[in-house]
Amino acid sequence: MKRRFLTVFAMLLALCLTIFFASELVAAQSETVKIGYNAPLSGPAAAWGLPGLEGTEIWIEEVNGAGGIKAGDKSYKVEIVKFDNEGDGSKALLGARKLILEDKIVAMLMLGGAESAVVQPFVSKHKIITFVLIASDISKDRPFLMDVTDNFPVYHLLHIQYIGEAYPKAKRAAILSQDDEIGLAAIAWSEAGFESAGIEVTYSKPFGLETTDFAPIVTAALATKPDILSMGASYPEFQALILEQAYTQGWKGIITSACWDFKAITAKVPVEWMEGAVSGFPDFDDPKLTKKQNEFYAKWQAKYPDHGFSEIVWEYMGGLDVWKFGVEKAGSVDSEKVFQALKSSPTVPHAFGPGVWWGNEVFGLDNLLVPNWPITEIRSGKPAIVAQKSLNDWLAEAGNKDILFKYLKKWKMMK
């Protein structure tokens, strides 16, 4: 009787231990790490924030569905915690405080621009790695701020270099962009690109953020008889209104911009009128991209069949890809360790190929991840890759650095 009791007891003890260790294993496997999404989800810049949630949602489904991210001997599921800062710096700071202090995030995704100046002192204090889409936000007093996807405003140099080569008869350009950190950066880098390409800038007066009637502004720009109309970094809702006026006033020429909200634009102007427009962001079904990118586009299109694709769909997600690379290399989700792992890598995977760190001579830190950049033209109503350009090659051309520094100083972006 006593032996039977001991046998049953031993069996029960073994069962309890099995259940305990299994529950511990499940708990370890289901550990979650949080990433902050502090971006404009409403307001004039919403089209540079809201679509990014679509890409991050697909990324989360794939990564968590595969068991999470491996960091050392642990696996982590990833959760996105979003905050709508409406493109306002003070609201972005409120978002950063909530995400860091309450939600305990280990990294943050942001658009950047005016938000960064307000948010970064607090973020730097807490050493939270922050991925923005604005390279000109990088500075020595923002050590944990990085641009790992969108090379704005650097790529303006390369878009314009392509235009100069592909359309040698185009010799006059007008730039229309708003009067804020993002818009002025686009004007500065664009003016440098145009001078390097031997193209005269005939108009580059920034317009106010309160502008709703673009008729007089476009009329003034077109009066200078430009062959090229650059929209710099005009917010998506501005782009459609600017191009509607240019079309209505009968202008024809080469259009270029940092990026497109193409669906909004073609609601105002014929698709055919946009043929040949130059930018640097392909749809991810482009056959010159990778199979993985094509598959992502197919998933996105199936999930959001009525939405227009823009670079924003993948750029925040691209930041997560880079963060994941850093986590796996560091063997940790700790923000400082991930940052150091990324900076110690000679090359880091970017959506457009291997990227290298650059920026010190302009921004004070090498916190911009630079790949060879694709150049796109609108072909049959869609952006298609027509060339690739290298920033390092542009900078190596005689006189180009001096030209760039001249315009950065002119627009008070460099001392």
Domain boundaries, the chain: 30-151+310-345, 155-258+260-287+375-410
Whether residue 268 contacts residue 218, with contact meaning beta carbons closer than 8 Å, is answered with no
Q: What are phi and psi of 141, to 5 degrees?
A: -85, 10
Least Cα distance to 360 among 368, 349, 370 occurs for 368
pLDDT digits (tens, 9 = 90+) for 175-228: 999 999 999 999 999 999 999 999 999 999 999 999 999 999 999 999 999 999
The CATH class for the domain spanning 155-258+260-287+375-410 reads alpha beta
By the 8 A CB rule, do 118 and 97 touch?
no
Burial class of 105 by CB neighbour count within 10 A (0 to 12, 13 to 18, 19+): buried
Question: What confidence category does residue 152 fall into, taking pLDDT thresholds of 50, 70 and 90?
Answer: very high
Length of the chain: 415
Q: Do domains 30-151+310-345 and 155-258+260-287+375-410 have the same CATH topology?
A: yes
| 8 Å CB contact between 39 and 49 | yes
Closest of 169, 162, 226, 233 to residue 200, by C-alpha: 226
Domain covering 30-151+310-345 assigned CATH 3.40.50.2300 in the classification: yes
% of the chain at pLDDT higher than 90: 89
Quick: pLDDT tens for 65-121. 999 999 999 999 999 999 999 999 999 999 999 999 999 999 999 999 989 999 999
Per the structure block, which two tokens stand in for 238?
């501005």
The rounded radius of gyration (Å) of the Cα atoms in the chain is 24
pLDDT of residue 236: 87
Residue with tokens 């920034």: 206
Confidence of residue 4 (pLDDT cuts 50, 70, 90): low
The structure's pTM equals: 0.90
Averaged over 124-140, what is the pLDDT? 96
Query: What does the alpha-carbon distance between residue 177 and residue 256 come to, in Å, rounded to a whole number?
Result: 12
Question: Sign of torsion, CA 8 10 13 18?
Answer: negative
Tell me the mean pLDDT in the region 266-270: 96
Residues 6+ apart with CB under 8 A from 249: 218, 219, 222
Asked which of 14-28, 170-184, 232-246 is least confident by mean pLDDT, the reply is 14-28
Structure confidence by residue, pLDDT tens digits, 357-414: 999 999 999 999 999 999 999 999 999 999 999 999 999 999 999 999 999 999 999 8
Question: How far from 42 is each of 50, 86, 126, 314, 382, CA to CA, in Å?
Answer: 8, 5, 27, 19, 26
User: What is the residue whose two structure tokens read 């760190």?
Assistant: 357
The answer to whether the CB of 82 falls within 8 A of the CB of 37 is yes
Q: Residue 260 above 90 pLDDT?
A: no
For the segment 334-350, what is each residue's pLDDT rounded down to a tens digit?
999 999 999 999 999 99
Average pLDDT, the chain: 93
User: What percent of the chain has pLDDT above 70?
Assistant: 93
pLDDT at 19 over 50: no
Please give the Cα distance from 378 to 268 (Å, whole number).
16
Whole-number Å distance between alpha carbons of 367 and 369: 7
pLDDT given at position 7: 53
Cis before 153 (ω within 30)? yes
